[in-house]
Amino acid sequence: MLKKIREDNKIDVSLRKIGYGRIEDAKEKIITHLKAKGGSLPLNDDSSPEKIKKSITD
């Protein structure tokens, strides 16, 4: 995905979706895992990024 054309005519690209597209992908993963786990995950506001990632990938 093209991110930006710089003043020196070089381009910045991204292999990941930009903006809202990334949110949609994350949303689908979370909903899928919530359904698989009976509607809740063992996470809260203080959960570390590592714990969140582990609970989503299990």
- Kindly report, residue by residue over 11-45, the tens digit of the pLDDT: 888 777 666 666 667 788 888 888 988 998 888 99
CA atoms within 13 A on the CB side of 54: 7
Give the residue carrying structure tokens 């590592």.
50
Joined tokens for residue 20: 């809202």
* Total domain count, the chain: 1
Print the domain residue range for 49.
2-57
pTM for the whole thing?
Answer: 0.48
Place of tokens 């903006």: 19
